[in-house]
Structure 1
Amino acid sequence: MSAETLFAHWIAPARRRRFADTLALALPLVLALAVLGWRWGGLIAALLVATVSLAVALAVARQRMARFDRPWLIRSLDTTRPELEDSSALLFADEAPASPLQSLQRSRIAARLDQGAPQDLAPAWSSRLLLLSSLLAVALIAAAMLWPRAGEGPPTLAPSSEGMPAKPGVPRLVAQNLRIIPPAYTGLPVRDSGSLDARVPQGSRLEWTLRFDPQASAPKLLMLGNQPIALRPDGANWIASRAADAAFLYRVDPAAGRGPTPPLHRVDAIADASPQVKALTDSLTMVKPGQRSWSPAFTATDDYGVAASARLRVTLAIGEGENVTFSEREIPVSGSGPARDRRFTPRLDFSTFGFAAGGDMVVQLIVRDNRAPNPQEVRGPSLILRWLSPKAPESSGLTGMVNTTLPAYFRSQRQIIIDIEKLLKEKRGLAPDRYLARSASIGGDQQILRGRYSQFLGGENEDAPDLPTADGEAHSDGDGHDHGGPPVSTPNVFGEKEDVLAEFGHPHDESPASSLDPETRVVLKQAVDEMWQSERELKTGHPDTALPYAYKALRFIKEVQQATRIFLSRVGPELPPIDATRRMTGKREGLASRQLEITPIEQQDGPAAAAWRALGDGPDAIRGPINLAPLDGWVRTNATRLPDALALSGAIDAVRQDPGCTACRAKLRALLWGAMERPSGHLARRRPADAAGARYLDRIGAAQ
């Protein structure tokens, strides 16, 4: 047996004993620390504390075990085994004996070594330390279980802040505590508040602990507009509880109306907000060559947490033209990250969904929050993955057939909007000249796109938008119209309308310009006008001002896109027939009045307006007590639309308690003014005509 093998054989029992002894000493303390973490931080804190404590214990055990090395073994054998004659070092030496005498001595003690066992060298168990460690762990666990956490056990009362004067024999509030127990799904801890006003999650449980001096007989919590809540005795204190399903006002009445009126307290119930889903991927993505999967990215946030699992709605549109087939399916997806900010990045294989060239894949994430028992469900924005067809679009020049050239241009305005928004996000990190250059570059793209759309309007919108009347000044060179070049040299045929118009007229019926029906032409003209406004702001270095115009242009373009077919218009208008028998007769039978009836607007603020006038200084003012019952009913009816119904109810109660309080009346009147509906706007007077308008009116007068 080699020296290394012999050493490992004799040292192993001692090391195992010391490793086990160290863990035995540490485990009770690890358990106690885990209980402490669970008591004050919950299950996650307990697992974290236990993991860290156990890792430290293992490191200490390995360090203590490493102390049993070769010198310790030699020293222990020489001390406990006299028959080895202090020569055990020869047995565990790595080198061979240097002399025959050492070899002889090594052979002699090797035979004597087997008379003992390696277990004889193992250290004894630390019995006393084990007992002390166990007792300490038991004490820590008992203290952690018996020590009250925040919101557990009897609360600590805070001095009352109502400031009520003391009267002999009349109880008054002297100490108070409001315990707030949020719903379990929020994950919020129970907390105690020394104030009787609070903002709590909707659905929380409220527990009041109050103390009066002198002792009260039948105190109550007077709920404004609801039934009072009776307090029940608990030793020297009085307690009550209620669920905060909605906001409310209340006051503590210890003496059943015998003393001064206590102040109002307010509890606001904060509703659980709906999850917010945001797309981290561009709204439109093109399939790249060789791409076989897609991983759209979403982030979902919520005030109390988003469910770990969600659903992804996948819609496929395969085909072109009228041969488009749609399919829809939902797949489960899992999120990563903390509960309040989860990230969803599903991987979608094209082969699994049957996605091929010439189709669109639209995905939408559907998430839920952790609210119980009715979780809120929200659908996120839609993301589009487009796989362009390898075939080139076919076009036809036949009159009356579908024009397939126009829709090809309806795909670039969104990219301009994306470029503008990206530039605005990067504004802080760009130098002013760089920022202006990029804005002008986007403006150049907007100009090119505007020129493309103007082709379908005969080039009439190459410059600033026309006047609403579309007359303006007479045609001239440089007015933005395409008047064409000089007359062609080919001989004209007498009487042909095309040749006469080409030589002397202003043609506006080129093939692209005449391919729109009148309604589509009007909408497209509005889009081009908005593009011109966007281009102007971009080239002057104001992309933030250009963004609204770009969005308006996109909206008009989308309206044009709704018409999947755009036909060439070659027919005149169809006017209704004229009844010639009624001409010059003066008969008016069957003619209806064109005057529109004026329908009065029904105002729902009658009680509020009456109370506002009564609280003022006008002829309808009331100096004494005011009947506020109709106003109370009006507030309850319109509570959902009022900016702060509770504040208004509190002001009404203050005026009712003290009708002569000038400050209370002024506050209620101010709140009523902000709560009443605003009157609808009246017709504005027409602005005076400018130079172009005056010239237009002058020409109309001259024509008459």
Structure 2
Amino acid sequence: MNAAAAAQRLQQAWRAARWRRGLDRAALALPWAAAAAAVLWRASGASLAAAGFAFAAVVAAAWAWRAAAAFDRRWLIRRLDGLRRDMDDSAELLFARSETLNELQRLQRARLQARLAAGAPPDLRPAWSGRGIALSGVAASVAISAVLLWPTSPSARRETALAPAPEVAAAPGQPRLLAQNLHVRAPAYTGLPARDEPSLQGRVAEGSRLDWTLRFAPQPTGAELVFLDGQRLPLQRGEDGDWRAQRPLIRSALYRIVARGAPAAQSQRLHRLDAIPDRPPQLRTIAPDRSLSLVGPDQRSWSLIFDANDDYGLAADASLRVTLAQGSGENIVFRERTLRVPGRGGAAAKRYAHRLDLAALGFARGDDLIVQLSVDDNRRPQAQNVRSASLILRWPADQGSEATGVEGLVKTVMPAYFRSQRQIIIDAEALIAQRRKLEGERFVQRSDAIGVDQRLLRLRYGQFLGEESEGAPPLPTSDAHDDGDAERDGQGRDGHAQAGGEGGVADKPAAPDEDGHDHARPPVPARFGEAGSVLEQFGHTHDIAEAATLLDPKTRALLKSALDEMWQSELHLRQGRPQQALPYAYRALRFIKQVQQASRIYLARVGPELPPIDFTRRLSGERAGLARRDDPLAAATAADPLPAALWQALQPVPGAAAAPVDYAALERWLDAHPERVSDPLAFAAALDAVRQRSDCADCRARLRALLWPVLARPPAAVSRRAAGDAGDRRYFEALQAEAGR
């Protein structure tokens, strides 16, 4: 017991000593890391200063760890022998192996362990370097203050920051811009480095901090930045004679540098700043590959994979909202929870993957599981959020239940919607592609299921031709059909013979009727001599009076052809031959598209509904309220006539003065319709140029060219002739070459 207690106390004292030494060395080094960061900040900006401080901190930590690692076992033995006389200069025996000691050495080690366990725990920590830490902190503080307060020399500023400005003709004594610089500091969350723009214009991130530095000679009495939207930013003159101003850029802008007494050419020059907006994250769903998925056999989990990217960076984690819908009808209960999904990848592109445990969520038959991923970017102060489309995992309820009593058959639930012909083709092609992976029986079953969908779609379109519904079971008490006779004849309830095929049952016309239906006789005797009764008793028609007036004969013929192709497609699908069914399915789709593009339909004739005649006005000569037949036709006005009117006003007329332009109306139109202009800054610059020089033909032509794309297109126009292929172009070029000779 004494040995274990002694070893524990000794280990704690040793660990405390190493921690003391590491913290002592870190306290000596960290102030100088801050001083190095201040130097870098003054020289190159905040981003490089942060990187330099992080590097200096890592170096200080490594130095502190190495100093603490010097307190090894040899140091501990020397420390124990030096601090405690009761160790009898035998502290080395505490760390020796028992098999290497003799009996006397073992007895001595036992005495040392008893002394360590009985007495106070040894304090092996070295003393703090109080004087050294204080001196280091004071010296580093002085160095940081000197770096921050040290003035920047004008020569250094001229060499590193300012660039020569374009030369402008100026009279003696007029202030002229000699040097210029625009320092751009992007928002910290973008991670973009600070940079200089010598031309005072460029594309910068939205929200960037802009610092202007200008030098004039001779010095003006005042200077400012005048923006085209009317805002003014005064320039402040510093001790070194340079003029400075600061402003964050929220949106794109055009501005001028206006100095008092400066030449007009310098004050009229426009500088353009384009603010690049921070786009919201782009989110893409990788798995599952469809919005609605059905639970597979023995499926216990659901894998979700999303890819996201952003221009500046994404948040480390995403939010996954999971909603479980249980019940049916009006008794639906929703349970919602939110999960955090970590992202993997770089700062600007991440992949979010998660696997949902269906049993843990309480997912059961008849339930729907809806998930939606929400991703944020690292924009500050307000992050942009984007959400994925809702993904649904459905566990269908029982499709049927066994009936008891009179029916003794299996009832099936009618599907909620019919599939389209295009979807049937897609399913058939997907089944053909998976043929090698599926067993024979499973392949035939899936082909038969697609054939059932084809049959339902055929019946749906058949209603437009007046065909009766097939497959509708009669009432149990109805004696209109003799089921026993039908079964003996080999026919089903839908009037089709059931032909057994490989893997499925195909509806096929059978005797005795040529149209493939077993028609019931009317239960009530028909009256003798009536044509309708004779037709109902001895004939059969597929037409319904209301449906017969819906489509014109040509459209009915197309729809009949589509039904015939659907029949053949269904026949091969039900027999497990999807490859042979595809040509018929494609032809059915082509006929359906032609039917959908039919230009007219026939409607049932109805009598005209004329207003009643007012006999009190008969022969009275009163014409109030009657339309005048001699009213002239008036030209229609455009919905937005201002651009067209300005475009016509800017049209040059040879020998005539330039027409005036309503600048205020055009500015109001630009503010009201910013979405119709592709480049608002170019439009504003051209408008300002025309306003400054109304007699400038080139300026007016430039503004007129910008107005052309925003003009309303006429409702009818001459279509451009097709350019033709390469052979046509060679022929026309040869004709032109022949004409030029």
Query: Is the TM value for this pair above 0.5?
Result: yes
Structure 1 equivalent of residue 254 of structure 2: 249
2:203 match: secondary structure: strand
Whether the 8 Å CA contact 2:22–2:68 is kept in 1: the answer is: no
Counterpart in the other structure of 1:287: 295
1:136-190 superposed Cα distances (whole Å, 9 cap, x missing partner): 67656765676579xx999764224333234311111122233445567667666
Alignment partner, residue 327 of structure 2: 318
Contact 1:173 / 1:212 at 8 angstroms: preserved in 2? Answer: yes
Contact 1:317 1:324 in 2 (8 A): no
What secondary structure sits across from 1:647 in the alignment?
Answer: helix
- Alignment match of 2:74 (pick from 68, 73, 83): 68
Q: Normalising by structure 2, what TM-score?
A: 0.56
Give the corresponding residue for 1:410: 419
| SS of 1:285 mapped into structure 2 | strand
Alignment partner of 2:606 out of 561, 576, 582:
576
CA distance in 2, matches of 1:113, 1:2: 6
2:683 is aligned with 1:648? yes
Match of 2:389 among 377, 381, 389: 381
Pairing partner for 2:173 from 147, 169, 175: 169
Query: How much is the aligned-residue C-alpha RMSD, in angstroms?
Result: 6.8
> Does structure 1 retain, via aligned residues, the 8 Å contact 2:24–2:128?
no
Residue 674 of structure 1 pairs with residue 709 of structure 2: yes
Between 25-34 and 45-54, report the one with greater CA deviation.
45-54
Task: Pick closer, same or farther for the CA change 1:254–1:60 going to 2, 3 Å.
Answer: same
Matched positions, count = 570
1:616-664 deviation digits (Å, cap 9, x = unpaired):
4xx4886658536244444344333211111012122234444565554
Alignment of 1:135-150 (within 5 A): none
How far the C-alpha of 1:210 sits from its partner, in A, is 1.9
What is the alpha-carbon distance in structure 1 between the residues aligned to residue 305 and residue 139 of structure 2?
Answer: 51
CA contact (8 A) 1:615 1:622 kept: no
Q: Match of 1:274, SS?
A: coil
Alignment match, 2:650: 614
Cα distance in structure 2, aligned partners of 1:354 and 1:275: 33
Asked if 2 retains the 8 angstrom alpha-carbon contact of 1:306 and 1:370, the reply is: yes
Return the alpha-carbon distance in structure 2 between the equivalents of residues 446 and 392 of structure 1.
16
C-alpha spacing 1:359/1:601, structure 2 compared with 1 (3 Å): farther
Residue 272 to residue 185, structure 1, CA distance change in 2 (3 Å): same
Change (3 A) 1:14 1:383: closer
For each residue in 1:399-450, what CA deviation from the matched residue of structure 2 results, as whole angstroms up to 9, or x when unmatched? xxx99646464399679879999xxxxxxxxxxxxxxxxxxxxxx9999666
> In the superposition, relative to structure 1, how do residues 496 and 48 fare at CA in structure 2: closer, same or farther (>3 Å)?
farther
In 2, the alpha carbon distance for the partners of 1:330 and 1:271 equals 35
Q: Which residue of 1 aligns with 2:470?
A: none
Q: How does 1:582-593 map to 2 (within 5 A)?
A: none
SS in 2 for 1:68: helix
Map of 1:43-54 to 2, 5 A cutoff?
52-53=58-59
Q: Distance in 1 between matches of 2:67 and 2:421?
A: 68
Tell me what 2:599 maps to. Answer: none
Which has the higher mean CA deviation after the structures are superposed, 88-97 or 289-298?
Answer: 88-97
One-letter amino acid of the structure 2 residue matched with residue 642 of structure 1: V
Correspondence list, 1:120-519, <5 A: 157-180=161-184, 182=186, 192-235=196-239, 236-256=241-261, 258-261=263-266, 262-282=268-288, 283-288=291-296, 296-298=304-306, 301-303=309-311, 310=319, 312=321, 314=323, 316=325, 318-319=327-328, 323-327=329-333, 331-337=337-343, 356-365=364-373, 378-392=386-400, 405=414, 407=416, 409-410=418-419, 453-458=457-462, 497=535
For residue 336 of structure 1, report the CA deviation from its aligned partner: 2.6
- CA drift of 1:313 comes to 7.0
Partner in structure 2 of residue 565 of structure 1:
none
Question: What are the Cα deviations for residues 305-352 of structure 1, in whole angstroms up to 9, with x where unaligned?
Answer: 566675737373632xxx354455664443433775566667777689
Task: Name the CA shift for 1:631/1:419 in 2 (closer, same or farther; >3 Å).
Answer: farther
* 1:260, distance to aligned residue in structure 2 (A): 2.2
Question: In the alignment, is the contact (CA less than 8 A) between 2:226 and 2:258 conserved in 1?
Answer: yes
CA positional deviation for 1:68: 1.7
The structural deviation recorded for 1:453 is 2.6
1:600 paired to 2:636? yes
- One-letter amino acid matched to 1:268: D
Q: Distance in 2 between matches of 1:171 and 1:580?
A: 85
Q: Which is further off, 344-353 or 604-613?
A: 344-353
Alpha-carbon deviation of 1:268? 2.0
Could you tell me whether the CA contact under 8 Å between 1:278 and 1:300 is conserved in 2? yes
Deviations 1:198-257 (A, max 9, x none): 333444444423221110112222222414433333331223344433322111122456
Partner residue of 2:28? 28
Confirm or deny: 8 A CA contact 1:613 1:621 kept in the other structure: no
SS at match of 2:675: coil
Larger deviation: 215-224 or 23-32? 23-32
Question: 2:35–2:143: 8 Å Cα contact kept in structure 1?
Answer: no
Separation (CA, whole Å) in 2 of partners of 1:340 and 1:311 = 20
Q: Which amino acid in structure 1 is aligned with residue 321 of structure 2?
A: L
Q: Secondary structure at the match of 1:336?
A: strand
Unpaired stretches in structure 1, ≥5 consecutive residues: 422-443, 462-481, 540-545, 557-571, 583-589, 686-704
**Residue by residue, what CA displacement relative to the aligned partner does 1:489-527 show, whole Å, maximum 9, x if unpaired?**
99999996589877xx9x689xxxx9xx99xx99x979x
User: Cα–Cα, structure 1 residues 487 and 672, in superposed 2: closer, same or farther, change >3 Å?
Assistant: same
Distance in 2 between residues matched to 1:114 and 1:484, nearest whole Å: 106
- The question of whether the paired residues in 2 share the 8 Å contact of 1:11 and 1:68 is answered with no
> Does the residue aligned with 1:269 lie in a helix, a strand or coil?
strand
Give the counterpart letter for 2:265 in structure 1: P
Task: Indicate the SS of the match to 1:640.
Answer: helix
**Aligned residues of 1:202 and 1:271 also touching (Cα < 8 A):** yes
* Contact kept? 1:615, 1:621, Cα under 8 Å: no
Alignment partner of 1:679: what SS? coil
The separation in 2 between residues aligned to 1:18 and 1:601, in whole angstroms, is 90
Give the whole-Å Cα distance in 1 for the aligned partners of 2:420 and 2:67: 69
Asked if the contact 2:321/2:372 (under 8 Å) is kept, the reply is yes
Q: 1:671 offset after TM fit, Å? A: 2.0
Q: Determine if contact 1:275/1:302 at 8 Å carries over to the other structure.
A: yes
Change (3 A) 1:259 1:403: same
Q: Rate the CA distance shift 1:416–1:301 in 2: closer, same or farther, 3 A.
A: farther
In structure 2, relative to structure 1, the CA distance for the partners of 1:109 and 1:305 (3 Å cut) is closer
For 1:581 and 1:284, locate their aligned partners in 2 and report how far apart those are by CA, in whole Å: 55
**SS at the partner of 2:400?**
coil
Give the TM-score normalised by structure 1: 0.58
Match of residue 434 from structure 2: none
Relative distance call for 1:458 and 1:243 in structure 2 (3 A) is: same
Letter in 2 for 1:249: L
